[in-house]
Structure 1
Amino acid sequence: MIGSMYSVIAMKLILTTGVVPNLNISAALLGFLFIRTWLKVLEKSGFVSKPFTRQENTMIQTCAVACYGIANGGGFGSYILALNKKTYELAGVNNEGNSPKSVKEPGLGWTTGYLYLISFVGLFALIPLRKIMILDLKLTYPSGLATAVLINGFHNQSDKIAKKQVQGFMKYFSISFFWGFFKWFFSGTGTGKVQCGFGQFPIFGLKAWKHTFYSDFSMTYIGAGMIVSHLVNLSLILGAVLSHGLMWPLISRHKGDWFSESLQESDMKSLFGYKVFLSIALILGDGLYNFAKILACTIINIHDKLKNRDLEMVVGGQEKPIEVLKRNQIFIGENIPIWLATVGYALFAIICTLAIPFMFPQLKWYYVVSAYIIAPSLAFCNAYGVGLTDINMSYNYAKVAIFVLAAMSGKEDGIVAALIGCGLIKSVVSVASILMQDFKTAYLTCTSPKAMFLSQVIGTTLGCVTAPLSFFLFYKAFDVGNPDGEFKAPFALMYRNMAILGVQGFSALPNHCLQICYGFFALAIGVNVVRDMSPQKVGKYMPLPMVMAMPFLVGAYFAIDMCIGSLIVFVSHKINSKKAEFMVSAIASGLICGEGLWTLPAAVLALAKVNPPICMKFLPS
């Protein structure tokens, strides 16, 4: 139930801005609140039940995260949507590299089949290395660690705190749901491109509103802003000011000089092209730097571990605490056979090699074989990096795959081969690191690794059904992919243009765009170098270039909502830090789930052609 609900919420976030916060902790909290509330109801009804354990809590969290993880990583907001007709038209019908043969409309049948093919391979990629990565290398996996600490805390805390969390969640869930219902009444159809309702509330005035500096009073983004760090939210607002406040007005002045005045707004040779390619330059600069850094850290760290192994065995010879010995015994004793991992990986890889070229003739079978030969080593590098830094780099491996496959496949087949092929790599690399992160949570909560792996398989199986259903709920009910609408799906156009760039080269860029891209690429690397080389008190204030790039296409409005979430957390800690520690996650989960769940009735009303009765819009006096 939690996994299905989060699939809808994650899909909404993907199709509006592309920013999905880590919902592991929130899923663990909801699992705890739902089951504890259910047990209380049973108790008052006279039924006696066994106590709810942290192992069961971990299994619920694992299953829910695996389920919504398919919605998040399944490419619905990026490479799958990049194949549809609307994205093809936005990328420029007259663009040489944008082949008309590279259009494939999303369908419930083929997307579900494709997900079932690619999503299970990654589950088997790193199972033989779980002991090495968790016990021998002692990797941290910060999100897995935080989730385990939270689950252990839930089951050690008093009923009074649990009751407050349940009340806080229900209160803010109700407020968020009814606020979504209230907003809907005022969002009727307006004239032209003006959206009605609270979705474009010009809190900074109408001039700022024209540059997307307004609030849409989204409880989902306020809740998301409460979960992510202050640095993420400040990076978003900095990216919004840099792009919509500075760069786009300056480039717009060169209309008629750098690009023709007669071009449509959505044409890639107009201002829209600069928005797309400058955001790609920031993302690539940040991604390549972090990829090189994590690869270097991995090599140095493994070398140091091997060098100091004998020393550790002597120094670490003292008796270990009983709790650690117990955890180690459960983690090693519950062994998942290596033959199962090998056979599972080989079997799913063979099925994919046979089926995917049949579904997509543009992607040749030998590309699929090559992808699955190199994927385990890439998955190891990524899982190691996640263990050290908590940064999942799977999307960067996918982007590299896009450029390589597009260049190798040629103009006719390049775009489809690149977009579908990147999904193979991304899925293995992402699923393997998520599994390893969940193994860390299982280790720290003394959960059976076999049971945890089974939960992951069940969650993945469910996710392959709930993710396409969630997507088509939005795709059929709303105008997905419209740059002027609510569901912009910015990464779909970004991924398609990366494939076009791989096919066509730099001729795909608008005038003077390459030179500005060099500047933004260097900016991304420079900011990272300053963060890593400068003292901690300076480095911790450096923005995140990958996050800064997100408002470039989407707009500034969601960054404002996310910052409101940060402000709420900041003020809460100032007023009562102890209370804020256990209440913030409950309140944030309530805000995200309430408005996220309102999406379901809103979609049903849209499909039934029931329009909101009022259009509220703002005019100059």
Structure 2
Amino acid sequence: MSLLQRLRRGWRNLWSRRHSRPPHPEESLAEFTFSAVALGLVIGCLLCFTNLYFGLQTGFISMMSLQSALIGFLVSKMLPTPLSPQEIIVVQTTAVATGTMPLAAGFVGILPALGLIDEERDGQGPIHLSWIAGIGWSCAVAFFGVFLSPPIRKQVIVEEQLAFPSGTATAQLISVLHDLPPPDTTVRRRRGHQYQALEGEEIQDATHSHTSPLLRHEPAVSESTPLRRSSPEDPDVADGQSVKQAGWHELLWSFVASALLTLAAYFYPIVFAIPLFGNYLAREWAWTFTPSLSYVGQGIIMGFPTTLSMNLGMLVGWGILSPISKYAGWAPGPVGDMATGARGWILWVSLAIMCADSLVSLTPVVTEFFVDALAKKIFSRSGENVNSTGKEDHEVETEDRLVPYRWVVIGWTASVIVGTFLVWLVFGHEGIKPWATFIGFVLGGLLSILAVRALGETDINPVSGLGKISQLFFAWIQPGNIVANIIAGGVAEAGAQQAGDLMQDLKTGHLCRASPRAQFFGQLIGSSFSIFVTTSAYTLYTKAYEIPGPSFPAPTAYVWLSLARLLRDGQLPEKSGLFMVIFAIIFGVIASLKTYAARHELWWAKWIPSGVAFAIGFLNTPSFSIARLIGGILEYVFRTRYARDKSDIRLIVVASGFVLGEGVTSVISLVLKTFGITALSCWGCGHGMCGGCKA
């Protein structure tokens, strides 16, 4: 029976099976229910709008798998038949696949970068995709990363049992909420915070054991151990009960507070552009303060060490290098100008830091990958322990719950062929050659392996660095073509990002015994649905706002375009090359020390500055970083003074409400803007930093 026939049969039986009786965990696709998929799509749509909004503002998106599971659980308690733990995993998987499409399809970086192309400088005019062209581009890159996930899962989750801290933490949360024993895991690293920077690169510190209230070393539960309900005195159960009782209340008030503040900032833009350090610094040097509760919530989720690194970068970039470049005459334009101003000048230093940090951090993963491959080859020649028929299989799922490899081969091949054709159809033969697009897909598949291994070991998905590797490669095979360089880099990055982030969900499913096939279907449905949601939302944003512009600067678009221009022309702003080399060396050493400390689980690893977080302090204006530092401080104070125990997630619930409140309200702001309803008052915006005013 074909994949399409199975999907049709599954959807026909979803509703009747869901309401006739509770699903049995041993049934094939028992958790793939109408309620789970529908709830996942609803949550995913909220995440999609939220991620598009924040991605265009700051370059950040959030995977939000833990938050999706939490919201799914709270909503399911209102249903006649609450969802099972395995169904919650399908909810989370579908929601993540839906919510991360703004990144996977490049709506927060690739497409704005194409719109910045200048005919006089680049030899051709800007490219703005229509709605139907956006659908075509999204379809081209939306699926091949999903088809890469099942075979990689077998190796990194089942055989090698990599940590995947964020996925493990979500499994812990689901077990707590459903009063189940902790999952079978010996992971000691803390949960990553699932916040992604620069189009997918997570900047959390993966060794900070105290910030992960949910990730603890627990006795393993074997397959033969019956699932029992824990005692009410169990601290895990106590926390689960507190979430059930107070979760909605805390989530609701934080959501409403953030939503009201966002609406107030829309009608009175000064609310989000306070000249905290005076009008002169605000007007001339872009030093304002945005008291956004969503920014505070993101800081809570990131944690104190990461936000501290970000603010150190802000001080160095905007407090030291920006004035130096301005007064030395290296960046004579307005400070905020990305072409001639200090912001564009320090962008190059930021890029050097990110590349150095990514390269050093990837080196141990790449080395181990090739050493393992070489070892297997040597052993295979000697006949030792590698025969596929004689090797012990650690798979715990039955065949009817796994994704058949023939589906993977057929699906991946079809997605690459169709994707290559669609890219050619959208951008034309002059944009990128079909053979180059095909190579981009193949390269994306190879880079996905590195992304998944890095994510599994460190909770960092380095797709930003991998995207730069792709750009370097395509500068060689199709030189001088900026459009081809950006598109091919986006194609390769899409696969690495999807395969990596979806692997976190598969890790959660593995620990909680959810069907990989059900999760696979949820991923396909979520990605398909999000193509239309994301493209429609982006089209509305481009009609209502200038992108990049004051309200949505899309900073990662400049990273993509600047590197493409550098690879074509080899020209850098005056003296920026010297500073790039200096900071690349410094953060290469720092990244080496941090990688060593993290791999040896040394307590002080978390206090070594993160290169990527430091670079983001350069990339975004100070208003972006200051509010997140407030959130990081709140997280630290709560964790050290007020948390009841290590499993107290009340602050995470509040942070989730803050983030979702502004993200969802952004839809209302978009509608108001579309109908011509603008700010009620531009009082206080004389410094010119208010996005909603032209003062």
Superposed displacement of residue 553, structure 1: 3.3
Equivalents in 1 of 2:508, 2:410: separation in Å?
A: 26
Equivalents in 1 of 2:274, 2:483: separation in Å?
A: 40
Q: Could you give the per-residue CA deviations for residues 515-545 of structure 1, whole angstroms, max 9, x where no partner exists?
A: 1111121122121122234683443211111
Equivalences for residues 298-447 of structure 1 within 5 A: 298-300=369-371, 329-330=396-397, 334-360=401-427, 361=429, 362-411=431-480, 414-447=481-514
Is 1:565 the counterpart of 2:631 in the alignment?
Answer: yes
Q: Which moved more, 1:264-273 or 1:550-559?
A: 264-273
Equivalents in 2 of 1:403, 1:474: separation in Å?
A: 31
Q: 2:361 aligns with which of 290, 308, 322?
A: 290
Q: Do 2:312 and 2:617's aligned partners in 1 also have CA atoms closer than 8 Å?
A: no
Give the match for residue 521 of structure 1.
Answer: 584
Q: Do 1:531 and 1:538's aligned partners in 2 also have CA atoms closer than 8 Å?
A: no
Give the match for residue 194 of structure 1.
Answer: none
Give the match for residue 7 of structure 1.
Answer: 48
Equivalents in 2 of 1:174, 1:213: separation in Å?
A: 28
Q: Do 2:357 and 2:591's aligned partners in 1 also have CA atoms closer than 8 Å?
A: yes
Equivalences for residues 231-246 of structure 1 within 5 A: 231-246=305-320
Matched residue SS, 1:235: helix
Give the match for residue 612 of structure 1.
Answer: 679
TM-score computed with the length of structure 1 as normaliser = 0.86
Give the match for residue 88 of structure 2.
Answer: 57
Equivalents in 2 of 1:51, 1:510: separation in Å?
A: 59
Q: CA RMSD in A?
A: 2.7
| 1:298/1:410 CA distance change after superposition, 3 Å | closer
Equivalents in 2 of 1:184, 1:595: separation in Å?
A: 11
Give the match for residue 107 of structure 1.
Answer: 130
Superposed displacement of residue 263, structure 1: 8.7
Equivalents in 2 of 1:619, 1:432: separation in Å?
A: 47
Q: Could you give the per-residue CA deviations for residues 254-313 of structure 1, whole angstroms, max 9, x where no partner exists?
A: 12xx45x57996363553441221121111111222222321233456678999999999
Matched residue SS, 1:268: coil
Equivalents in 2 of 1:160, 1:265: separation in Å?
A: 47
| Structure (1 or 2) with the greater helix fraction | 1
Equivalents in 2 of 1:7, 1:28: separation in Å?
A: 16
Q: Could you give the per-residue CA deviations for residues 201-250 of structure 1, whole angstroms, max 9, x where no partner exists?
A: 13344455353343211111111111112221111101100011111111
Equivalents in 2 of 1:142, 1:291: separation in Å?
A: 18
Equivalents in 2 of 1:262, 1:184: separation in Å?
A: 29
Q: Do 2:264 and 2:271's aligned partners in 1 also have CA atoms closer than 8 Å?
A: no
Superposed displacement of residue 352, structure 1: 2.1
Matched residue SS, 2:328: coil
| 1:106/1:56 CA distance change after superposition, 3 Å | same
Q: Do 1:126 and 1:376's aligned partners in 2 also have CA atoms closer than 8 Å?
A: no
Q: Could you give the per-residue CA deviations for residues 150-180 of structure 1, whole angstroms, max 9, x where no partner exists?
A: 1111111454531211111011111111122
Give the match for residue 88 of structure 1.
Answer: 117
Equivalents in 2 of 1:378, 1:106: separation in Å?
A: 27
Equivalents in 2 of 1:464, 1:239: separation in Å?
A: 35
Q: Do 1:403 and 1:501's aligned partners in 2 also have CA atoms closer than 8 Å?
A: no
Is 1:216 the counterpart of 2:216 in the alignment?
Answer: no
Matched residue SS, 1:215: coil
Equivalents in 1 of 2:629, 2:63: separation in Å?
A: 17
| 1:303/1:142 CA distance change after superposition, 3 Å | farther
Q: Do 1:199 and 1:215's aligned partners in 2 also have CA atoms closer than 8 Å?
A: yes
Q: Which moved more, 1:459-468 or 1:375-384?
A: 375-384
Equivalents in 1 of 2:425, 2:263: separation in Å?
A: 45
Give the match for residue 263 of structure 2.
Answer: 181
TM-score computed with the length of structure 2 as normaliser = 0.77
Give the match for residue 517 of structure 2.
Answer: 450
Q: 1:202 aligns with which of 265, 275, 282?
A: 275
Percent identity reads 23
Q: Do 2:136 and 2:426's aligned partners in 1 also have CA atoms closer than 8 Å?
A: no
Equivalents in 2 of 1:547, 1:264: separation in Å?
A: 22
Equivalents in 1 of 2:613, 2:513: separation in Å?
A: 35
Is 1:582 the counterpart of 2:649 in the alignment?
Answer: yes
Q: 1:602 aligns with which of 669, 680, 688?
A: 669
- AA partner of residue 287 (structure 1): S
Equivalents in 2 of 1:464, 1:56: separation in Å?
A: 23
Give the match for residue 250 of structure 1.
Answer: 324
Q: Which moved more, 1:429-438 or 1:207-216?
A: 207-216
Q: Do 1:141 and 1:388's aligned partners in 2 also have CA atoms closer than 8 Å?
A: yes
Equivalents in 1 of 2:75, 2:562: separation in Å?
A: 44
Equivalents in 2 of 1:176, 1:308: separation in Å?
A: 58
Q: Which moved more, 1:261-270 or 1:162-171?
A: 261-270
| 1:607/1:389 CA distance change after superposition, 3 Å | same
Equivalents in 2 of 1:142, 1:332: separation in Å?
A: 27
Q: Do 1:404 and 1:502's aligned partners in 2 also have CA atoms closer than 8 Å?
A: no
Q: Do 2:303 and 2:636's aligned partners in 1 also have CA atoms closer than 8 Å?
A: no
Give the match for residue 211 of structure 2.
Answer: none
Equivalents in 2 of 1:264, 1:203: separation in Å?
A: 18
| 1:213/1:265 CA distance change after superposition, 3 Å | closer
- Any stretches of 5+ residues in structure 1 without a counterpart? 40-48, 188-196, 314-324
Give the match for residue 321 of structure 1.
Answer: none
- AA partner of residue 335 (structure 1): L
Give the match for residue 555 of structure 2.
Answer: 490
Give the match for residue 44 of structure 1.
Answer: none
Q: Do 1:145 and 1:440's aligned partners in 2 also have CA atoms closer than 8 Å?
A: yes
Equivalents in 2 of 1:355, 1:488: separation in Å?
A: 28
Q: Do 1:407 and 1:503's aligned partners in 2 also have CA atoms closer than 8 Å?
A: no
Superposed displacement of residue 182, structure 1: 2.3
Matched residue SS, 1:201: coil
Equivalents in 1 of 2:511, 2:532: separation in Å?
A: 31
Q: 1:162 aligns with which of 231, 234, 244?
A: 244
- AA partner of residue 54 (structure 1): P
Give the match for residue 107 of structure 2.
Answer: 76
Equivalents in 1 of 2:618, 2:463: separation in Å?
A: 22
Superposed displacement of residue 480, structure 1: 2.2
Matched residue SS, 2:488: helix
Equivalents in 2 of 1:225, 1:328: separation in Å?
A: 38
Superposed displacement of residue 61, structure 1: 0.5
